[in-house]
């Protein structure tokens, strides 16, 4: 068989995805596998077992990133890498992240079955805590790996219960010894669901993003004066939840100032959170994304000033933290073209687009040529239990990944 005719085993890919989906399965048909939870550990253990079955050299670094390396003929050449993440959102879906890990695994298994040797090493990776939901920020471990984030800062990040990311890594047995430092990469491809409506709307099968939007996260904390809601007159209250409500309106209003921007408040904590106490503490998050870093920074400046004015008016002192910023990632044109050409060779329609979702590929792109392969998300829904992509599209995406990786892996 010519290598051009090589195809992944779609049924096996489906079985891997279904087996993973059972780990942390939710009653609503989704998955809850928060970073460094017991479910994440279970998924990791299974992944490591599967890597060993196909003779990959497994290593785990200080951030818990799991690498499986399949030796090529020229071991001194920079490797071709692919992977994504096994963690999920709370009540998340069965495809976000895990498709990119199981897709790359299916590529490796296919090469293993057919005893195909590549010139370069192939590496598959599971990045720790891509989601950033349990421990902010997102993509933290690829960020450390490329040298853009500090390892010890990442270790110190806490979840809602005050547990530290570094301690949780150790608890589940994935605080590895290998330094979390980038090794040479010739090309990096990440297979992922689109998580938006474009491919479905355009009736296309494969998305080739030209890059990923910039992504900026902020944490806002307000302090008010708690009091009994009944006897306390409306005038003169320092109600920080009311102040937060105005701020949330501001976030939405400012996002509309530029066409290519989105801004969201997705997380809020109200203290003491009792219906008959005026709230004296609020913590909420702001997520701003745009293809133009300047637009996102400009929007934050407007929000910041308005937040200060609102806090002042309500007498609720405010603290604003710039938690995380990752610049927009324009992918390597040659690799994006490889995705488009490979899709065409395999007979699939494609769409040149932009990724609104964040991916580890944003960080990898800062040190090596990177690109992504998207498949359609039904109804454009993601980060929800009903997140869905067809098994056929998963297989098509994995075949595009297979041939993109092979093309790059045979380059000398
Ligand atoms: C990552 O899941 C994101 O927030 O886009
Ligand atoms: Mn993802
Ligand atoms: Mn996600």
**Per-residue pLDDT reduced to its tens digit, 31-53:** 999 999 999 999 999 999 999 99
Chain segment 200-228, per-residue pLDDT in tens? 999 999 999 999 999 999 999 999 999 99
Angle of helix 38-53 relative to helix 10-21, nearest 10 degrees, comes to: 150
Report whether 324 contacts 137 (CB < 8 A): yes
Atom 2 (ligand 1): residue with closest C-alpha?
131
Diameter over CA atoms, the chain: 82
CATH of the domain at 141: 3.40.630.10
- CATH code, domain with 316: 3.30.70.360
Average pLDDT over residues 344-365: 98
Section 55-80 average pLDDT: 98
Residues 150 and 84 in one domain: yes
pTM: 0.97
Nearest ligand 1 atom, CA 131: 2
Give the tens place of pLDDT for each residue, 118-154: 999 999 999 999 999 999 999 999 999 999 999 999 9
Boundary residue ending a domain (326, 353, 381): 326
Do both 153 and 237 map to the same domain? no
- Report whether 94 contacts 30 (CB < 8 A): yes
Residues 125 and 250 both lie in one domain = no
**pLDDT given at position 362:** 97
Q: Of the residues 298, 326, 354, which one is the last residue of a structural domain?
A: 326
Domain count, the chain: 2
What pLDDT is attached to residue 123?
A: 98
On whether both 352 and 254 belong to a single domain, the answer is no
Compute the distance between CA of residue 340 and CA of residue 363 in angstroms, rounded to an integer: 22
Closest ligand 1 atom to Cα of 96: 2
| Residue 10: other Cβ atoms inside 10 A | 16
- Same domain (yes/no): 205, 222: no
Atom 4 of ligand 1 has which residue's CA nearest to it?
Answer: 358
Residues 208, 334, single domain; the answer is yes
Q: Identify the nearest ligand to the CA of 84 by its number.
A: 2
The SS3 assignment for 185 reads strand
Point out the domain boundary residue: 326, 359, 392.
326
Bridge partners, residue 79, by sequence: 185
Rounded to an integer, the average pLDDT of 71-87 is: 98
pLDDT at position 336 over 90? yes
**Residue 372 binned pLDDT confidence (cut-offs 50, 70, 90):** very high
In sequence order, what are the residues at sequence separation of 6 or more whose Cβ sits closer than 8 angstroms to the Cβ of residue 310? 243, 246, 247, 250
**The token pair that represents 319 in the structure block:** 């603290």
CA distance 317 to 270: 15
Can you give the pLDDT at residue 354?
A: 97
Give the Cα separation of 288 and 255 in Å (integer): 8
Which of 216, 326, 358 to mutate to test ligand 1, by most ligand atoms within 8 A of the CB atom?
358
- CA pair distance 212, 309, nearest whole angstrom: 33
Give me the mean pLDDT over the 10-19 stretch: 98
Helix (H/G/I), strand (E/B), else coil: 372: strand
Are 221 and 192 found together in one domain? no
Q: Which protein residue has the closest C-alpha to ligand 1 atom 1?
A: 358
Q: Which atom of ligand 1 is nearest to the CA of 89?
A: 2
Distance 94 CA to ligand 1 centre (A): 15
Question: Do residues 240 and 357 both lie within one domain?
Answer: no
345 Cβ neighbours under 8 A, 6+ residues apart: 4, 403
Looking at the fold, whether 141 and 260 belong to one and the same domain comes out as no
pLDDT given for residue 258 in this prediction: 84
Task: Report which protein residue has its CA nearest ligand 1's atom 3.
Answer: 358
Q: Are 86 and 227 contained in the same domain?
A: no
Ligand 1 pocket, residues with Cβ under 6 angstroms: 131, 138, 357-358
- How many Å apart are CA 260 and CA 211, to the nearest integer? 14
- Please give the distance, rounded to the nearest whole angstrom, from the Cα atom of residue 278 to the centre of ligand 3: 35
Ligand 3 centre from 330 Cα, in Å? 19
Question: How many helices (H) and strands (E) are present in the chain, helices listed first?
Answer: 12, 14
Range of the domain at 209: 3-213+328-409
Q: Residue range 52-65: average pLDDT?
A: 98
Judge if 93 and 116 occupy the same domain: yes
Q: Both 270 and 124 in a single domain?
A: no
User: What pLDDT, on the 0 to 100 scale, is given for residue 128?
Assistant: 98
Distance CA 360, CA 358 (A): 7
**What tens digit of pLDDT does each residue of 232-276 get?**
999 999 999 999 999 999 999 999 988 789 999 999 999 999 999
Rounded CA-CA distance 198/207 in Å is 9
- Asked if 343 and 205 touch (Cβ cutoff 8 Å), the reply is yes
Find the 285 Cα to ligand 2 centroid distance in Å: 20
């Amino acid at each position: 068989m010519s290598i051009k005719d090589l195809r992944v085993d779609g049924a096996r890919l489906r079985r891997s995805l279904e087996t993973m989906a059972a780990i942390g399965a939710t009653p609503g048909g989704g998955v809850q596998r928060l970073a460094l939870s017991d479910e994440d550990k279970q998924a990791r253990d299974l992944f490591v077992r599967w890597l060993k079955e196909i003779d990959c050299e497994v290593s785990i670094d200080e951030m818990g990133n799991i690498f499986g390396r399949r030796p090529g003929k020229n071991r001194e050449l920079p490797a071709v890498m692919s992977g994504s993440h096994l963690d999920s959102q709370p009540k998340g879906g069965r495809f976000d992240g895990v498709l990119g890990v199981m897709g790359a695994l299916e590529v490796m298994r296919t090469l293993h079955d057919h005893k195909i040797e590549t010139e370069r090493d192939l590496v598959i990776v599971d990045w720790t805590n891509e989601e950033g939901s349990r421990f902010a920020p997102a993509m933290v471990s690829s960020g450390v790996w490329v040298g853009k984030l500090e390892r010890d800062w990442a270790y110190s990040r806490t979840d809602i219960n005050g547990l530290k990311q570094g301690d949780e890594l150790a608890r589940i047995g994935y605080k590895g010894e290998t330094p979390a430092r980038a090794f040479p990469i010739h090309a990096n491809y990440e297979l992922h669901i689109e998580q938006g409506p474009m491919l479905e709307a355009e009736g296309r099968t494969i998305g080739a993003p030209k890059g990923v939007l910039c992504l900026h996260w902020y944490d806002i904390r307000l302090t008010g004066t708690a009091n009994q809601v009944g006897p306390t007159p409306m005038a003169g209250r320092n109600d920080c939840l009311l102040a937060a409500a105005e701020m949330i309106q501001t976030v939405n209003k400012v996002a509309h100032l530029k066409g290519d921007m989105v801004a969201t408040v997705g997380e809020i904590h109200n203290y003491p959170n009792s219906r008959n106490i005026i709230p004296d503490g609020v913590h909420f998050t702001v997520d701003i994304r745009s293809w133009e870093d300047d637009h996102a920074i400009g929007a934050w400046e407007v929000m910041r000033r308005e937040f200060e004015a609102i806090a002042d008016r309500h007498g609720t002192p405010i603290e604003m933290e710039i938690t995380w910023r990752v610049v927009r990632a324009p992918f390597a044109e040659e690799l994006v073209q490889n995705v488009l050409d490979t899709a065409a060779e395999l007979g699939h329609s494609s769409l040149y687009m932009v990724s609104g979702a964040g991916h580890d590929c944003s960080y990898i792109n800062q040190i090596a040529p990177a690109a992504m392969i998207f498949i359609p998300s039904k109804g454009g829904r993601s980060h929800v239990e009903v997140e869905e992509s067809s098994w056929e599209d998963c297989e098509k995406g994995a075949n595009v990944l297979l041939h993109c990786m092979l093309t790059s892996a045979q380059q000398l």
